[in-house]
Structure 1
Amino acid sequence: MRFMTLTPILLRLALPLAVSLAGLAATGPARAQSFDCEAAFERVEVMICTDDALGALDYEMNEAWSDTIDMAADPAALMRSQRAWLRTRNACPDSACVAAAYRARIRVVRASPRAGWSVYRNPALGLTFEYLANREVRACPEGFERCVSLHGRLGGQPDRPLMMFQRFDGPLEAVAQSEAGFEARDGGWFTTYGRFEPQAVARSRSQGLERMQAVITCGISDENGFHAAAGECYWGVLSDGRRSVVITTEGVGGLDAATRHSVDTLQFVQP
């Protein structure tokens, strides 16, 4: 069964959501606030929107949060402390207090403990790989045989499907062609799935496995409908010559270093 039957996951939500707790995406120029200034009603939010220095600190906080929350050892605890900090910030009487609150909180967020690595090992499936300890490996949806799915935080949102791993018997090229839609032509390999022109497939060997990988423009769906070319889907095939695994994402996420680490550390194991 090919991964083309996957249901696309939701479009990435704006990273500033957890910082503002207002559910509003950042808009405007590069140093836009982490909330919609036109909808600001809190006294401190209005202060931030009218003070360039505070706006810059809010932007820096948003960057620190975006870099940290998905990788945090305990994202739920970090969210709770962020909510508590927002109450403290909103109680500030003046801009000096707000600025001091931001500077202190940015240091705390950036120093938050990061999740370590866990090892997934499934002899029945014949696979092992490392994954971020704040993520979870689950069985794939019904209809996918010999398959597991990696779930975790994405853009500050919990429990998103990040990547799927499906085992097949057979050598690299045969599985790449039948299950990943890769095609040999003109002395190389190219994608046949995705939007726009076929993409060249990169081929390599590392950790004792042959690898074929490509990133294609693909469609994704969100609450507003289907977007034909809004995603970037990763397709990879790894093989030890007898067994192969097809690895794919659904167009949103899965290209970050932590998720690619799971691909880089994958190995086949004996049942």
Structure 2
Amino acid sequence: MIAARDGLKLAPANREDDVVRPGIVMVVAALAVSGCEPASDSPAPPSSTGPATAGEAAPSAAVEPVAAPRAALGVAFDPGPGLTVSPCEGDMPQCVVVSDPSAEPYMRELLTVQVKAASLEAVAADDLGYRRNADGQLMTTYGRFEPNPVEAFTVNGHPGLRATTTCGISEPDTGFHAGAGDCISAVISDGSRSVIIESSGYGNAIGPANAAIGSLRFPPRP
């Protein structure tokens, strides 16, 4: 989780990011989850088709590709309008961070989305710490205070697991890392790929995290 794992570093929110437009955000590049040649960070050449003429439908601005230079997620999600998407920092391949440039600096980074080539159960246990207790109930083991139950759900035909835990968030004035945030974590899988979504713990991340979870799609591979 973003706040619960203090070692996680995210990309600064004020870098030159791609702005999310309303609609489904496609985060696609040449690098597949199984590994291919890395995609170039160079911008795509402008279209040669020119502007739409009378009788032709103009391209919709509601669906706009968002290229993550370091992460070829190969999935689609919509965290909401006015947000930015940029690659995660550090050793986090196929990972992007969603930020709100209009928020206070300490609240700008909202959530991370990362794709792993593993099953739902493996990612839930190894990355999110979802484990069964003595009664056989799936519970959280990360976060602060008491474990919380894990909820099973389905989104766009794909199974998922999610939970909310109490996590540490920093006070802007003192820098104190208090255990006062509500961190959302979720994993959704198509069987071979699993998508991890984790929120920051601040209140302004709850809506975008739920929106990203509820809109997640696995487009067919080329």
Q: Tell me the TM-score range normalised by the shorter chain.
A: 0.5 to 0.7
DSSP 3-state at the match of 1:166: strand
Question: What letter corresponds to residue 260 of structure 1 in structure 2?
Answer: N
1:144 to 58, 71, 92: 92
1:213 to 150, 157, 162: 162
Q: Which residue of 2 aligns with 1:183?
A: 131
What is the deviation of 1:206?
A: 2.6
Q: 1:120 and 2:120 equivalent?
A: no
For 1:205 and 1:131, locate their aligned partners in 2 and report how far apart those are by CA, in whole Å.
Answer: 18
What is the deviation of 1:118?
A: 5.1
Q: 1:115-159, CA deviations, whole angstroms, 9 ceiling, x for partnerless residues?
A: 8335233143221112323111111112211101111156x5378
Which of structure 1's runs of 4+ aligned residues deviate more than 4 A?
none
Q: Which residue of 2 aligns with 1:46?
A: none
So what's the TM-score if we normalise by structure 2?
0.66
Matches within 5 A, 1:86-101: none
Q: 1:235 and 2:185 equivalent?
A: yes
What is the deviation of 1:7?
A: 5.1
What is the deviation of 1:202?
A: 0.5
So what's the TM-score if we normalise by structure 1?
0.54
1:196 to 117, 122, 145: 145
Matches within 5 A, 1:11-26: none
Q: 1:174-200, CA deviations, whole angstroms, 9 ceiling, x for partnerless residues?
A: 110001111123222100011111000
Q: 1:36-55, CA deviations, whole angstroms, 9 ceiling, x for partnerless residues?
A: xxxxxxxxxxxxxxxxxxxx
Which runs of 5 or more structure 1 residues have no equivalent in the other structure? 9-114
Q: Which has the higher contact order (CA 8 A, sep 6+)?
A: 2
Query: As a proportion of its length, which structure holds more helix?
Result: 1
For 2:187 and 2:76, locate their aligned partners in 1 and report how far apart those are by CA, in whole Å.
Answer: 15
- 2:160–2:189 Cα contact (<8 Å) kept: yes
- 2:9–2:88 Cα contact (<8 Å) kept: no
What is the deviation of 1:268?
A: 2.0
For 1:233 and 1:193, locate their aligned partners in 2 and report how far apart those are by CA, in whole Å.
Answer: 10
Aligned CA RMSD, in angstroms, stands at: 2.5
- 1:191–1:201 Cα contact (<8 Å) kept: yes
Q: Which residue of 1 aligns with 2:53?
A: none
For 1:221 and 1:189, locate their aligned partners in 2 and report how far apart those are by CA, in whole Å.
Answer: 29
Q: 1:267 and 2:217 equivalent?
A: yes
Kindly name which structure, 1 or 2, has the bigger radius of gyration based on alpha carbons.
1
- 2:161–2:188 Cα contact (<8 Å) kept: yes
1:172 to 120, 134, 137: 120
For 1:264 and 1:149, locate their aligned partners in 2 and report how far apart those are by CA, in whole Å.
Answer: 17
For 2:24 and 2:158, locate their aligned partners in 1 and report how far apart those are by CA, in whole Å.
Answer: 21
- 1:219–1:226 Cα contact (<8 Å) kept: no
Q: Which residue of 2 aligns with 1:6?
A: 8
What is the deviation of 1:238?
A: 0.7
1:162 to 110, 119, 123: 110
Which runs of 5 or more structure 2 residues have no equivalent in the other structure? 11-20, 30-71
Paired-residue identity, %: 35
